Structure 1
Amino acid sequence: MNLANTTFSAFILYALDKDQISNPLVQHKMAAFIGLIKQRVQSDGVERALASLQEDAFQMRLLILNLFSENEITDRLPEGIERLYQRFDKPAASLGPDLNKALPECMTVYRFIAGLETEGESGTVVKEPMSDYMPVPVHPGKVDTLPSLADLELILKTFGFGSTSIISLLRSSLAFETGLILAELHRAGELFLSPAELKELSRQLFLSIEDFGLEAHTQGFWQLPYHDHVQTIRNIKIRVAAYEASQIGSLKEVSFQSLKELLS
């Protein structure tokens, strides 16, 4: 998932680090997107905001892809992405206990899915060279003619691809990334989240990264590590087992205990 890794990471990086942006149009659109995040959270709450922002987040991700094709990504991207990951691994008193637990655990899973880390012998975690994950040239279209998620879903459905699974993969990753941006906006003091909202954000991050992991695995983009490096990987394994059981019809009702036995 090299391209996925760089686009997902750069999407968040560009949203948070203004010095990475040299294109005035992108600066304007990114600022408007950040403003929209703040507005939606304040008016609709965390859960509804993350759900309603997916189309806007998708447009911003395509905009980043457009920068790749126009060579707007600088040589600082690998270091920027590494700094980004370190940022989310670092606890902060303002984030509260739930988010301080969720961020590093979710980022551990994210790094596995993106291919930045792999499982070595005896379950050790191996860091992959960041240089291996630089973007490849792509040409998604002009900035003012970017397709929507609905457009993409229609195209996939028209040509007989598994549109539901692919769109689910996209939506879960977009929800997760927007959640990361929201967490950083709170940390930076640009948006205040109450303790209840911080708790809800941590729940949404866990849910979206589990959804992302499930879709990435079942579609063949990612192989689950053998060891349970964090509880969230264990949770994804349980959900994968439930999905596979439902596909073969061997279990009509799957209990949590029976899934644990399947995985033991």
Structure 2
Amino acid sequence: MVEQSVLVLEKQGPNPVLSEGIHDWVFECHGLLHNAVLIIASFLFVLYLALQAKKSFLRLSHGRSYIIISYYASLWLVSILNLLWCFSQAWECSPGKEFAWNLLSLFTTSGMLFLEVSLLAFLLQGNSTSGLEALTRTFGISGIIVGFDILLKAIYLFAFGIPIFINSGYPTPHVKWNLWVIHKLLLTLVYGFILFMYHSRWRERLPARPAYYKYVTIMFILNAIALFACGITGNGAAFGFWLYHFTVVCYHAAYLPLLYITFLADFFQEEDLHLENVYYSEMKDAGFFEADWN
């Protein structure tokens, strides 16, 4: 009996538990492609932030913009959380890891939502967003909204036991999709409202930079697709479950780089004159100076 046990251990290798864990982390649950996209995208972005950190800190120390400093610090924190979330995908499908996965998902998605809502508040405040007062107002609004969102999701997770962050199996509880429909509907309406303002006579009340509204357009489309996916999944469509999961991957892989490129990258350019020329060219192409010429 002892000899057979030794032979079995030799066949299994030096550490069969570790080998099985690595195999599950890479191949099981959502599959290799899913994990690779999330891990590579999040890791490359954090690596880019690290490589640019010295130059960014110098630029921030000279710029002394409270809003940019706060966004940059928040971006670093959320990017690290998102990287941990991407590396922990196997927890979603592992028995006994549900609590850890739900808690990590709650903090990660709430951090990303805080950035998203604060940028929406920044855009809706228009050209008056500058200084410490605007920062306090923007982060105050965002903190209240995200705090309520965290409380609601925590009640769903830990009071009612509804797995709102576990998407490894189908079908899932119908009440879960009701929550996500409301969540995506509110975001879609806000993005749609900003796009409506941008293409109306109230455009001058918004920050005069067309790149912001390319970001808004992308987020409007992504949230509209997610809203559609949640709606049809709640009614029993398996395709909607796949489509919703696709939007989740896109969000976690691409949202933070999109935010950085749209709102922060130009601030860290060394040539301020070049930056002003870029802004002027974008505003001119968007027709902001047509009334002056006429």
Tell me which of the two structures has the higher relative contact order, counting C-alpha pairs closer than 8 angstroms and 6 or more residues apart.
1
* TM-score normalised by structure 2 residue count: 0.27
* TM-score normalised by structure 1 residue count: 0.30
Please state which structure has a larger fraction of its residues in helix.
Answer: 2
The structure that has the greater radius of gyration is 2
